[in-house]
Amino acid sequence: MTNVDDDNTPLLRVRDLRVDLTLPSLARRPIIRGIDFDLAAGEALGLVGESGSGKSMTARAIMRLLPPNAETHGTITFDGNLVGAMSKTQLRRLRSHGVAMVFQDPRAHINPVRTVGDFLCEGMVSTRGVSRKAAWERARTLLGDVHIADPERRMRQRPYELSGGLLQRVMIAAALAVEPQLILADEPTTALDVTTQEEVMAILDEQRRQRNLALLFITHDLELAAAVCDRTAVMYAGRIVECGPTEGMHSTARHPYTRALLAARPATTEPGLRLQTIPGRPMAAWDVSTGCSFRSRCPISTTECEHDEPQQRAVGTATVSCHHAQIGVPA
């Protein structure tokens, strides 16, 4: 395995990640247009952006689970090893030990005819070589950890007998069973009602803190990311346009897109007033030609934004891709 570890290497390092897809028409579509971020062991990073901005593709690239028509450039380093250089065996190990995923729709990732207990035990028996009895006991403990009452009964049930919220807790337990260093959670609560959403998020947050796991939390909801993440990266049209500590992002959002996302949230809208929406349509990564991808929706764009794509630069404690980003501009 290609090891590039040094004392400062974070758990996950993504550098100039680019993903292009070749369509059946043979046209090439840039989907991810060069993103960089680091994730330290035990740290939680929120990856936030509108639908189509490239969040899930980023997660899939980290797991090397992109579709066959995808071409990847750049480097992803996990625990000091280049993911792009991993053999099949090493990749299997990455997916069964190093990194675990939790998805939006648990029902799409669980066999509907097997019991919950079988689902949880299968992975442990096949990848860890533990006995079925030991796996069963561990699964029961894990279900207790995610606050599922009467775990023994739940383990004998089939997925359709569990609510969406309970099933998502089962998926969190399955992720923890891997004893990962990193959890990639791709909109794990988007399909749930608000109360259940809060419960599931609280459990994920509690467990990852207790176990000191790193979390890449993908969501379109900036507030939700703020509630659980140390840092937040905002994606737009296949690039990260702002990345910085979550604390303070509300008051010092530096990219106009981040500010627009914050303004569009119901919590910041007075009762009785219409929810502010971001004018215009999201820009697809492959539609970006010259200049800033956000300029057609941006209230402060200038001719410079038409001609030059802004590069990432440090603005205070954040990195921002905007010609007009400054410290101290309130949200």
Ligand X SMILES: Nc1ncnc2c1ncn2[C@@H]1O[C@H](COP(=O)(O)OP(=O)(O)OP(=O)(O)O)[C@@H](O)[C@H]1O
Span from 51-59, 81-89, 292-300, 312-320 in contact with ligand X (CB under 6 A): 51-59
Span from 47-55, 201-209, 239-247, 310-318 in contact with ligand X (CB under 6 A): 47-55
Q: Which helix (H) or strand (E) holds 13?
A: strand 12-22
Helix (DSSP H) and strand (DSSP E) numbers for the chain: 11, 12
Q: Which residues sit opposite 15 in a β-bridge?
A: 75
220 binds, among ligand X, Mg ion, none (CB under 5 to 8 A by kind): ligand X
Cα 294 to chain centroid, rounded: 22
**Exactly one of 11, 53, 162, 175 binds ligand X (CB under 6 A); which one?**
53
Q: Tell me the residue type at 129.
A: G
Q: Nearest approach, Cβ of 22 to ligand X (angstroms)?
A: 9
The span from the CA of 179 to the CA of 64, in Å, is: 19
Span from 50-58, 105-113, 169-177, 221-229 in contact with ligand X (CB under 6 A): 50-58
Single out the residue of 132, 217, 210, 130 nearest to residue 178, CA to CA: 130
Q: Nearest approach, Cβ of 222 to Mg ion (angstroms)?
A: 16
**Exactly one of 227, 263, 264, 284 binds ligand X (CB under 6 A); which one?**
284
Q: Does 21 bind ligand X (CB under 6 A)?
A: yes
Within 10 A of 330 (CB to CB), how many other CB atoms are there? 8
Interacting positions 65-94 with ligand X (CB under 6 A): 67
Span from 44-52, 95-103, 207-215, 249-257 in contact with ligand X (CB under 6 A): 44-52
Token readout for 82 is 């280049």
User: For residue 114, which phi and psi values (nearest 5 degrees)?
Assistant: -95, 155
Using CB under 5 A as the criterion, what x/- string covers residues 56-85 for binding Mg ion?
A: x-----------------------------
**Exactly one of 49, 106, 180, 244 binds ligand X (CB under 6 A); which one?**
49
Q: Does 55 bind ligand X (CB under 6 A)?
A: yes
Single out the residue of 243, 267, 308 nearest to residue 58, CA to CA: 243
Token readout for 202 is 């609280």
Q: Nearest approach, Cβ of 321 to ligand X (angstroms)?
A: 17
Give the chain's length: 331
Token readout for 309 is 């794509």
289 binds, among ligand X, Mg ion, none (CB under 5 to 8 A by kind): none
**Residues at the contact surface with Mg ion, assessed by CB under 5 A:** 56
